[in-house]
Amino acid sequence: MTDQHVRPGKYIIYGYLIEDAMVSLIFNFFISLILSMMAASLFLKATGLSFWWGALFLACLGVLLYLSNIYLIRHFINKKAPGVFELDATYGKPMKDSEYLWEKTAGTGIVPKWVSWIGIASYASFAGIVIWLIVWLT
């Protein structure tokens, strides 16, 4: 596959077809990772606590962002597609190779992108814990 066969918004990097959405996801993840580690560092500087508290701060930040993400996803789905969660609760677990009704709202614009960025930031905070501990242990 040469560059002339690639549609706009797609790239070939080391033989892999990469879309703009994936580049944006990776970029947002690393920006969130840097920001969360800067926040942990500033927290330690302001409080004067020892270095390992930074990992605990990142864990609390990750949990807070993750729970906020879940709440906001449920809020926007209930607001723009009311009754979806009630139908899922009524019908129970879907059959094998099927999905819940609320999962079908993915990509429809019901949940704003900034809510997804909060979810990305939560995973970046958890990744920051690993980096923080590696730096602490070395």
Averaged pLDDT, 6-35: 75
Question: What pLDDT score does 12 carry?
Answer: 65
* CB neighbour burial string for 19-52, b if at least 16 within 10 angstroms, e if fewer: eeeeeeeeebbeebbeebbebbeebbeeeeeeee
Query: Mind listing the pLDDT tens digit for each residue in 81-115?
Result: 787 777 667 777 766 667 766 666 777 777 888 88
Question: What pLDDT score does 55 carry?
Answer: 93
Average pLDDT, the chain: 82
Averaged pLDDT, 33-51: 94
The total of other beta-carbon atoms located within 10 Å of residue 94's CB is 12
